[in-house]
Amino acid sequence: MRRNIKVSLGSNDNVGELKKNYQSLKQLQRGLVTDAEQKANLPATTVQNFLLRYNNKKKTKSITLWTNFVYQNFDRIVYQERAKLQEELGKLQQEQGEASTSTAPESAAITAPSFDYNYKTFHSSFRTLLRQDLSHELRTISINRLQDNLQNASKHNADYSLQVYKTILLVKNHTPRNL
């Protein structure tokens, strides 16, 4: 699947169509299980035997597991492959840039690389993090301690950010403008 996604991204094809094709399969593609066994360095028929036992126990089919996997993980895999492709293109462009600047006598403009960060947020109640079999008093004490520590850490970060900002202003206001 990764190979097909990479080819699709490289040729600017519609990745959505590829996802629909994978989700509409009626049976697993030939070699899918054996390729998975080889990549995981497992003995032959290990995954196949597991699927047979699992499917008999749960009364499901392997294709159902596959379509669920595609539904849950396809977008993540596309994102990873797109990042790899952009990284490879960046390296290739950098190598070409180095080759052209090494032969050219004039200096080339230096640009900083741009980064695309994908931030994910997380939130959870402290109550779900604690064991359920603890007494009410211990749970209350633990929750209060965690909340206090979180507040102190936030205050520390805010104070540190303020000091950095003041330092930047100080440097900015005391440097010559025509440098």
Instruction: Report pLDDT digits (tens) over 165-175.
Output: 888 888 888 87
Q: Judge whether 16 and 5 are in contact, CB under 8 Å.
A: no
Phi, psi of 26 (to 5 degrees): -100, -20
Q: Judge whether 95 and 44 are in contact, CB under 8 Å.
A: no
Mean pLDDT within 26-30: 84
What is the reported pLDDT for 107?
Answer: 47
What is the reported pLDDT for 92?
Answer: 81
Q: Judge whether 142 and 134 are in contact, CB under 8 Å.
A: yes
Q: Is the pLDDT of residue 48 over 50?
A: yes
Q: Judge whether 46 and 37 are in contact, CB under 8 Å.
A: yes
Please provide the average confidence, as pLDDT, over all residues in the chain. 80
Angle at which helix 32-39 crosses helix 46-58, to 10 degrees, equals: 120
Mean pLDDT within 116-124: 66
Mean pLDDT within 32-60: 83
CA distances from 40 to 10, 61, 69, 74, 109 (A): 26, 22, 17, 20, 46
- d(C-alpha 65, C-alpha 51), whole Å: 9
- d(C-alpha 34, C-alpha 69), whole Å: 17
Which range has highest mean pLDDT (12-26, 102-116, 124-138)? Answer: 12-26
pLDDT digits (tens, 9 = 90+) for 64-115: 888 888 888 888 888 888 888 888 888 888 877 766 555 544 445 556 566 6
Mean pLDDT within 142-159: 87
- d(C-alpha 72, C-alpha 107), whole Å: 49
